[in-house]
Structure 1
């Protein structure tokens, strides 16, 4: 696990990338379900897309905007910075782009896949959140709809059939995972849903186990776990959707991912295997 101290050394790594490609890296920022979270709209190469759509339609809306932004980066290496829902949508785009690269070289998905060096995912909703399950079931809780929106998005529920991993399992480029586990002081209804995510009744109430979450997205979702699992330990691990491409980059137990998306140094950090 990388610490914040590591980020001080990222400029050296970025310089190596710049030398190899003949240009500085180009970070493209793609907001999540809540476009206001993190105030990414004041960053260069920010994309505003329709995050209220289901996965396939969301990808179709995002892709041409992303291609247009990539073209502005000239020949610079492309790093995509995503969070919660946009992480899942970008994963879907890259996976299909990789699959059909030879057949449809001019398709937007293929162009995005071929241009992208890496993705940095902040609290990615790769396997959804039980909060959206509740919205889709009733949509009546003000506390929950305030966090994830009033509209039901099946692609953000925990139902595996709606996740991008039900269609693809390889993005073809590394996805570096950034996540936090601090859940702040949310209402008891919200906290109970998240604490019980992936746990049986016996595990939750007899064994008093609790699923780790940052207050919106369960840790297992942000860590791109293969199946809906409950990570109850601070150092908990899981089988990734694809161990070759999903890599833990930064974790904080003092912050939620909504805090981390405001960290300007972290938003520029790059992965170093050393």
Structure 2
């Protein structure tokens, strides 16, 4: 089922980056179809693997294996749930960020502008706010901030004024209604790229993705044993910048603070000085891998 659900990106590179010990404890915070987890588990003997995913569809992919513990919650609660399982430290943590292929291809989830469906975009379907709620309820400045900061949409203000103009007539509830509402603002030559940016911005805000990522990175440092590995795959520059800065400087601005002896205060050391990207062969096999970037760090 995993091949249908989601093709794991940078699989060999990320597993190698974890530097797996047979008796170690590992965490896959984005379990999804279990592609990365399956390989991690195959390399464990007495070790354990904890898989996090808030998506009810992902829960159906959980393994029946005594070494595997599935936790159906957002990974921002990683530390709390591991503490509940009496796990204080782990040997490696993997995060494959973004939306699974499965969720992009299910029309009613509302992640893709290729389908008709509700303008939803919730990764956790028990969450109260949908993308449609944001589009219909937020004021002009809030919406401009979302499209400008999270989608880097150049004509963000014009886009928002167009949305507000349309929603005053009737609420925008579906993907088709949303696309029709913003059509006058979409540059025809780069329509697909533009819509991708707009949908990305809404998805990030709907799910609080960047705040969750920051929480996750801070928790990872606290959870990793010295010598433990953090492996993160990102899909857009906003995520990658946060991960890069945090590894380099121990903060999200990337400002390196040094002690009296000139040592940088970050608790992590980058294993790959240059970001790892998919090969041409992998992109040909799986076009959704084309924007992926992999960073690996070790706890000092």
- TM-score interval, smaller chain: 0.3 to 0.5
Whose helix fraction is larger, Structure 1's or Structure 2's? 2
Question: Relative CO higher for 1 or 2, CA cutoff 8 Å, sep ≥ 6?
Answer: 1
| TM-score normalised by the chain length of structure 2 | 0.34
Which structure is larger by alpha-carbon Rg, 1 or 2? Answer: 2
| TM-score normalised by the chain length of structure 1 | 0.36
